[in-house]
């Protein structure tokens, strides 16, 4: 494609130079040069048309499952949308069903909580700092959020085990607790009228927990479906 543009530009430049130096002969060769340029333009148009009509690459089976799942659970959710779902589950890899995708969301929640803990520690200066009187409310909120996220981290292994073990009721209870903790953390800043440095983290944690819950609940509705059989299910057929 680039070579075509270069050829077209070069042809135009040569013709301009030739016209200035040989005005009497330029018109004689104009029709030939115009024909050459027109041929290049037609070739370029053909290439662009072929590229526009080329079929889009086929989605993998895993991508199709993720897209279908996100449209299902995110389309009518008041907690997160399809875009958030696709962004979160894009790393699901070889996920075979809703249970697998829920496990991915749970892992992402644990990662979020761990990194948020570390961020809070940095904001507080590691073991804690002497804050100015005006920052007392902020420090108090951060310490409370540190405790809340610590609970999410501690509950992570149990949540993962419950999802993989098919104990969806137990997993849902843990995840709803995590969602409430993230919301409580952000709400603490609002009540204290302190600017929250954790808004993005709280929002992601809340949505990831709700996403995992939605996936588990829909998996229960599916009952048994060959297309959405989880990779955690190794029972004989």
- Give the model confidence (pLDDT) of 116-169 as tens digits: 999 999 998 855 555 565 688 999 999 999 999 999 999 999 999 999 999 999
Q: H helices of the chain, where?
A: 2-21, 23-53, 61-75, 82-89, 98-123, 136-164, 168-192, 199-222
98 and 18 belong to one structural domain: no
109 and 224 belong to one structural domain: yes
195 and 108 belong to one structural domain: yes
CB 124 within 8 A of CB 139: yes
47 and 101 belong to one structural domain: no
**Number of domains into which the chain is organized:** 2
Residue 237 lies in a domain: no
Residue 154 lies in a domain: yes
d(C-alpha 32, C-alpha 202), whole Å: 69
- Check residue 141 and report its DSSP letter: H
Q: Which of 53, 69, 90 is the last residue of a domain?
A: 53
Range of the domain at 222: 61-228
37 and 71 belong to one structural domain: no
Give me the CATH number covering residue 88.
Answer: 1.20.140.40
At residue 73, does pLDDT exceed 50?
yes
- Give the model confidence (pLDDT) of 163-218 as tens digits: 999 999 999 999 999 999 999 999 999 999 999 999 999 999 999 999 999 999 99
Six-digit token string for 165: 């073990």
Query: Which DSSP helix (H) or strand (E) runs through 55?
Result: none
């Amino acid at each position: 494609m680039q070579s075509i543009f270069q050829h077209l530009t070069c042809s135009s430049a040569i013709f301009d130079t030739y016209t200035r130096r040989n005005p009497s002969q330029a018109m004689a060769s104009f029709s030939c040069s115009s024909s050459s340029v027109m041929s290049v333009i037609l070739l370029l148009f053909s290439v662009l048309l072929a590229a526009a009509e080329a079929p889009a690459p086929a989605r993998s089976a895993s991508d199709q499952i993720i897209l279908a799942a996100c449209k299902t659970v995110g389309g009518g959710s008041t907690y997160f949308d399809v875009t958030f779902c696709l962004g979160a589950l894009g790393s699901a890899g070889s996920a075979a069903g809703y249970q697998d995708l829920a496990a991915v969301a749970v892992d992402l929640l644990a990662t979020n909580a761990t990194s948020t803990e570390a961020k809070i520690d940095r904001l507080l200066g590691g073991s804690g700092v002497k804050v100015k009187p005006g920052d007392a409310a902020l420090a108090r909120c951060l310490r409370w959020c540190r405790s809340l996220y610590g609970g999410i981290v501690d509950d992570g292994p149990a949540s993962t085990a419950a999802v993989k073990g098919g104990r969806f009721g137990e997993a849902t209870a843990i995840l709803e607790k995590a969602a409430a903790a993230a919301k409580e953390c952000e709400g603490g800043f609002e009540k204290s009228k302190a600017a929250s440095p954790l808004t993005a983290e709280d929002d992601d944690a809340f949505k990831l927990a709700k996403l995992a819950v939605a996936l588990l609940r829909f998996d229960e509705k599916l009952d048994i479906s060959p297309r959405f059989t989880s990779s955690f299910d190794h029972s004989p057929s």
